[in-house]
Amino acid sequence: MIEANNPSLKTWIEVAKESDFPIQNIPFGIFAPEGKTPRPASRIGDTVIDLSALCDNGFFDDLEIDNYGVFYSPVLNDFIELGKPIWSAVRNRISEIFSLNNKELLNNEVAKKSILYGIDKVDMLLPVEIGDYTDFYSSIEHATNVGIMFRDPENALLPNWKHIPVGYHGRSSSIVVSGTNIHRPMGQTKADDALAPTFGPSRLVDFELETAFITGKNSKLGEHITVDQTEDYIFGMVLFNDLSARDIQKWEYVPLGPFLSKSFGSVISPWIVTMEALEPFMVDGPKQDPAVLPYLDFEGKKNIDISLQVSLTPEDGEDTIICNSNFKYMYWNMNQQLAHHTINGCNINIGDMYGSGTISGPTPDSYGSMLELSWKGTKPIKLKDGTERKFIQDNDTITMRGSATNGDLRIGFGECTTKILPAKLK
């Protein structure tokens, strides 16, 4: 077992029982303490750990890292470039420093002051510089629901769906960190019975409940990453709200796929949870039938039991949980997605991001978008305040949460939240 994953480990930092960040998590992120430059961090409970300050105080000296400058960088890309053995060694070292019986930092008040911050005292920033962004479409329940609503209930899945992890190349410039609010987009839409399109604010803004993984190793153009090799290329995961304007999407997507309906802002959670921390939660995925082509074949447990939740909060209102889903429902796993992505020789880079596609489960309360929850607007969603929603209204806040639990151990992602602001009409 990875020592930092030991479920019996305890820490001298206070951690609430329901925290997503016990000492067994040790995620990585970028934060800016007040008046200071952005820098790498980890987190235990509600305490943010400044990795540059740990480095200043010599806590990483025995790790034999080639470039200690990575702990002072405003993005994690350089740290990630050091490779999987170093991610692992740093995570284990942080775990050691904060273990209950370790007094090396505990008794050093001066060092503690420079290293530890309350989460409410700092801003979390985008953890990596995202080069390329790809979005998949890998939930069979989601693809089936969309097929039933927009095409043919008898042939809901297109003929390629069970053979290829379908995806498209998205836009990385508009990916923002949780807490960033997004304006309702303007765009072209056309009603079915209208002769011509009109221009105005989208009326059908939706969330897509997704996770995303971030790659931690470059590959060369012309090279293929096999399913087995993908383990070395995936650094970790975040929650991902792939905001979508359904009315713009419907008019623009033929024949090349979504364009402006998906690029007005997409939101990720700030803490990258490592694949190591998620290792105790691996499960089997759905049976793939028909059998996949050999280059997509895999062995072992490749899905992860991560329960996912979405809540909608009206302006000055109360939260209503409108979706409970789980990452384990995914038909295609991340390893297959990455193997497929590179089978043509497409190269990938450190910091690239890959969305799972909307994660819907088998029951109507587990659908991962308002399009499905309200079934194209025909079944409005009831909120606690008595109002109803078909899609997101101005000043509604969408919050996604995700966590994996196993006995007393809970590894979570924190929140991915955004408020939809009114359109900028001029």
Catalytic residues: 142
Size of the site for Mn ion (CB under 5 A): 3
d(CA 111, CA 128): 27
**Region binding Mn ion by CB under 5 A among candidate stretches 64-72, 128-136, 225-233, 322-330:** 128-136
**Torsion sign over Cα 375, 376, 381, 386:** negative
Q: Residue 420 CB, nearest distance to Mn ion (Å)?
A: 16
The structure tokens listed for 340 are 């497929």
**Under rule CB under 5 A, residue 78 binds Mn ion:** no
**Under rule CB under 5 A, residue 135 binds Mn ion:** yes
Q: Residue 120 CB, nearest distance to Mn ion (Å)?
A: 31
Considering the complex, state which of residue 167 and residue 412 has its C-beta at the smaller distance from Mn ion: 167
**Under rule CB under 5 A, residue 206 binds Mn ion:** no
Question: Which of left, alpha, beta for 308 (phi over 0: left; psi -120 to 50: alpha)?
Answer: beta
Considering the complex, state which of residue 208 and residue 372 has its C-beta at the smaller distance from Mn ion: 208
Q: Residue 210 CB, nearest distance to Mn ion (Å)?
A: 6
Residue 411 vs residues 156, 185, 230, 281, 405: alpha-carbon distances, Å: 35, 35, 22, 9, 6
Strand partners, 411: 404
Helix (H) or strand (E) holding 403: strand 397-406
The beta strands (E) that lie in 78-229 are given as 116-118, 122-125, 133-136, 167-169, 175-177, 182-183, 186-189, 198-201, 205-206, 209-215
**Region binding Mn ion by CB under 5 A among candidate stretches 48-56, 185-193, 236-244, 246-254:** 236-244
Q: Residue 22 CB, nearest distance to Mn ion (Å)?
A: 30
Q: Residue 266 CB, nearest distance to Mn ion (Å)?
A: 8
**Under rule CB under 5 A, residue 242 binds Mn ion:** yes
**Region binding Mn ion by CB under 5 A among candidate stretches 150-158, 203-211, 268-276, 297-305:** 203-211
Residue 89 vs residues 26, 79, 272, 342: alpha-carbon distances, Å: 12, 12, 16, 28
Q: What is the CA radius of gyration of the chain?
A: 22
The one among 50, 141, 208, 352 contacting Mn ion by CB under 5 A: 208
Considering the complex, state which of residue 30 and residue 212 has its C-beta at the smaller distance from Mn ion: 212
**Under rule CB under 5 A, residue 141 binds Mn ion:** no
Considering the complex, state which of residue 60 and residue 137 has its C-beta at the smaller distance from Mn ion: 137
**Region binding Mn ion by CB under 5 A among candidate stretches 17-25, 125-133, 150-158, 239-247:** 239-247
Strand partners, 32: 123
Q: Residue 101 CB, nearest distance to Mn ion (Å)?
A: 45
Interacting positions 4-43 with Mn ion (CB under 5 A): none
Q: For residues 325 and 361, is the Cβ–Cβ distance under 8 A? A: yes
Considering the complex, state which of residue 217 and residue 246 has its C-beta at the smaller distance from Mn ion: 246
Q: For residues 127 and 30, is the Cβ–Cβ distance under 8 A? A: yes
Question: Which of left, alpha, beta for 45 (phi over 0: left; psi -120 to 50: alpha)?
Answer: left
Residue ranges in contact with Mn ion by CB under 5 A: 135, 208, 242
